[in-house]
Amino acid sequence: MQPDQTVTFVAVDASHEPMLLGWLSQPHVREWWGDPQDELALIREDRTTGETKGFIFFVVGEPAGYIQSWLPVQYESERWAKDLTPDTPGIDIFVGPADMTGKGVASRAIRAFVPQLFAGTAPRIIIDPDAGNKRALRAYAKAGFTPYGEWNDSSGRTILMELARTEFERTK
């Protein structure tokens, strides 16, 4: 499966914050991402520290959502990540405008984004949706991710999904 050339990415900067706050305030995003102000503060902090690389993604030139990459092994709070290699990135994504949900936008964005993550040595890419987020689970499967485990803790049940480099290269 070839990456979608109509999907482009721009690194998040301060000028994107009003749009991000608007998206984070949408019910379909807030349900899974939490308090909009808190999430925006985390995006801002991560942009400053460089721990997470965040991007606005565009579909045919229209702002469509947010995607970020991070290294799960750097976070002690992600106990499920303890066995990952240090070069295994995780990604998080949301589609911003409600009228773009349910149209394959997230899976298109993911397929366009992962080549840059596989440009390094990463053996696989991880995504960790809430088990109740059925829309996300379908989008990630459509993008080529497969479940490999689950994690239960006080915040709920997480499905651990991966896209192996070998699988990605096979479907390019």
DSSP string, 80-106: GGTTS-TT--EEEEEE-SGGGTTTTHH
CA angle 145, 171, 87 (to 5 degrees): 55
- Going from N- to C-terminal start, the domains of the chain cover 7-171
User: Whole-angstrom Cα distance, residue 53 to residue 155?
Assistant: 24
Q: Tell me, what's the pLDDT at 1?
A: 45
User: Whole-angstrom Cα distance, residue 70 to residue 78?
Assistant: 12
Q: Who's near 116: CB < 8 A, 6+ residues apart?
A: none
CATH code, residues 7-171? 3.40.630.30
User: Whole-angstrom Cα distance, residue 81 to residue 97?
Assistant: 31
User: Whole-angstrom Cα distance, residue 108 to residue 43?
Assistant: 22
- The answer, as to whether pTM is greater than 0.75, is yes
Ranges of residues in the chain whose predicted pLDDT is under 50: 1
